[in-house]
Chains A and B, each alone.
Chain A
């Protein structure tokens, strides 16, 4: 079955560490997105990519980095520069800028600073 897979489901980071969240899709979607979700704040866009080897900053890109070397993969690195990384991270993808099929989401990664 086609879908979008995020891993790991839970991730713990020590102060000063970089961590990478994985997002893989087998839907042949061109566009991929990373969102951060905090309680009561909805979804805030971190980075997005519309084609391989190209990506753009979203509203809260500081302290994060991404790469898009393959169409299927869009990993997110949370760097030590991100001072408050504890949150729920969601990856999404789409084929036709939404359309009637909308955006497909992964099941999320919960990152906690310890």
Chain B
């Protein structure tokens, strides 16, 4: 069955970087976009960007351009999201989600989420 398994919780100091992984199983990794979405404590969902695994192409929300990096390793079916220059308001649960794109875009499977705590 389709599963997206994310790396474990992280605690980082302000100004540091964090890299979260998302490992896909149960389907052909290259056939689906991977999106990253975050949710601050008690807040709503915020779309960050996507990566197209077969090409490595990326697209980011304007807010995150210049300080988020999305990569992938197709040999192990894993996507990565790295956020730099962390601030306290970057503390959130970060989710990856799969999307077939095309004429039927949707986030149909989600990872379990990775809590990133930013604290000195």
Q: Decide if A and B are genuine partners.
A: no
Could you list which residues of chain A lie within 8 angstroms of chain B, going by C-beta atoms? none
Chain B contacts to A: CB under 8 angstroms: none
